[in-house]
Amino acid sequence: ELNAPRTDQCPPPSARDDECLFYLEQFRTLTYAAWELRPEDGPVRWARVTASWQNQHELRSGNRPASYVVNTGEDDVDTLGLTAATRFQWSLDESTLALTTGIDGYLDLVRSASAIRFTDIDVTVPRSRGQYLGGSRYFTGGVFADLALRPAPEWVLRGGARLGWVEAHAPGDPDSGSRPVDTRWHPTAGHLGAEWQPHPAWTLLADVDLSFRAPNLDDLTSRQQTGPGFQFENPDLRPERALGAELGTRLRTGPVSAELWVFQTWIDSAIGKVTVPATECPPETPQCLASWNRVQLVNAPDVSVLRGLEAMIRVRPVSWWWLRATTTWTWGEGPNLADPPIDPTVPYAERVPLSRVPPLNGTVETEWSLPLGLRVGAALRWAAAQTRLAVADQSDARIPLGGTPGYAVVDLRAGWVFGQVGSLALVLENLLDMPYRAHGSSVNGAARGLIASLTLHPF
């Protein structure tokens, strides 16, 4: 992506209309090599080893013509990855036991720099640090095992565990008041689940999941302009831990397929944004002092809750036509991270909505298959308005006053599969050219446009 303006900073709230933050360059690169083995007999079903390299590159330019100032920043993150996994399967009379086990590791290496250029005298002054701390590194990895047992044709029992290792390192920068980071965690995670099929067309499912999320380098070291205000680092963040439970049912009868899921997640030490005064701004950070709002990430002192519902139905009355609809509803609530007001008459809620929880949303899709490998279809993507806002959302420039409006976007699709040689796919996106924005996004959704993809299999 080249020369893309950031919608909520072009111009920033209350700024001159000629001020704008541009993403001059945004590149994503992925290269990987994989080795895979699939024996024809024996308990080993497959084994796979993958080595990968990813690069995320961003070059920004914040233009302020009236002040003769251009703020620039450049960040690069290289990620080296190595994964290995093996799946075993055994038949025990009428039962089947499958084991998937493996190990993985990913290392992030960060380069980050920033500068300020005075356009009237053509002088560029490098800053002591960038959006991140250059030279930072972050490692996450672990070993895991997943078991699936089918003791009877109508039952499947699942369980798994993961032992992890997470390390975060960042050099300090005294000039900007950035503290060094040197911390590590040893997370454990696991899940249990069951699947019961009382009828060939009907299945009931239940899962319990214990998860862990360590703070990343963005949480621990970054300084950047976000929707709610200027955000600066908190190297004292603790990991989030969550317990999730979900129940589901699945129906598959000839032309009709349907699924319904309900879930709830309890999050301990959830990471959220809290507003801080200008006196808390770190040194050598004029953007912090100049912002109307300043925020810092902190751990919630009490449990946060996220619950929701997902549904899907697919109907295929004839072999050449199908129709599918989906919908999702999510609700979240957590402790108020702001201090209670001194004046007891000022309204204050102990628990408030979680930030950037999506509104009720869904899709409707249909497709017709035609002779000669052709197919055509259409899709409707919709979302209701989200007016239930977190405290941080209410000052978020990405979210309109009162909440994010609802929207409905229509896409047209077409495709052609030409034998064994390849396929062509076309999507006319946002047919009616409707302006819309996903809740909490900093950029509007894509305008009317054409997406084309060609896949070839010459050998």
Binning pLDDT at 50, 70 and 90, where does residue 147 land?
Answer: very high
pLDDT band at 215 (very low <50, low <70, confident <90, very high): very high
Closest to 444 in 3D by CA, of 16, 9, 1 = 9
**316-320, 404-408, 418-422, range with the lowest pLDDT:** 418-422
182-191, 381-390, 437-446, range with the lowest pLDDT: 437-446
Residues with Cβ < 8 Å from 194, sequence gap 6 or more?
A: 155, 156, 157, 158, 205, 206, 207
Q: What percent of the chain has pLDDT over 90?
A: 68
DSSP 137-149: EEEEEEEEEEEEE
**Look-up of token digits 């929701």:** 308
Mean per-residue pLDDT for 425-451? 89
pLDDT digits 0-9 by tens, 19-58: 888 899 999 999 999 999 999 888 999 999 999 999 999 9
pLDDT confidence of 163, banded at 50, 70, 90? Answer: very high
CA nearest to 113, candidates 74, 58, 72: 74
Q: Which amino acid is at 235?
A: P
Buried b (16+ CB within 10 A) or exposed e, 327-360: ebbbebbbbbbeeeeeeeeeeeeeebbbbbbbbb
The mean per-residue pLDDT over the stretch 238-263 comes to: 96
Task: Calculate mean pLDDT across residues 121-130.
Answer: 91
More confident residue, 79 or 3: 79
CB half-sphere exposure, 260, CA atoms < 13 A: 4
d(CA 145, CA 159) in angstroms, rounded, equals 9
368 vs 400: CA distance, rounded Å: 39
Taking Cα atoms as reference points, which of 268, 270, 433 lies closest to residue 357?
Answer: 270
Measured distance CA(398)–CA(275) in Å, rounded: 17
| 443 token code pair | 């950029």
- State both tokens at 172: 């300090």
pLDDT of residue 442: 65
Name the average pLDDT for the chain: 92
* Segment 257-302, tens digit of pLDDT: 999 999 999 999 999 988 888 888 888 787 788 777 888 899 999 9
The mean per-residue pLDDT over the stretch 341-367 comes to: 91
Query: Among 154-158, 190-194, 389-393, whose mean pLDDT is lowest?
Result: 389-393
Q: Are 243 and 263 in contact (CB under 8 A)?
A: no
In the numeric block, which tokens belong to residue 184?
């590590």
Kind and range of the H or E element at 392? helix 391-394
Q: pTM for the whole thing?
A: 0.86
**CA–CA separation, 222 vs 237, rounded Å?**
13
The pairing of beta strand 294-299 with beta strand 229-232: parallel
- Give 70-115 pLDDT, tens digit per residue: 999 999 999 999 999 999 999 887 889 999 999 999 999 999 999 9
Per-residue pLDDT, averaged over 336-345, amounts to: 86
Average pLDDT rounded to a whole number, residues 345-355: 89
Residue scoring higher pLDDT (446 or 362): 362
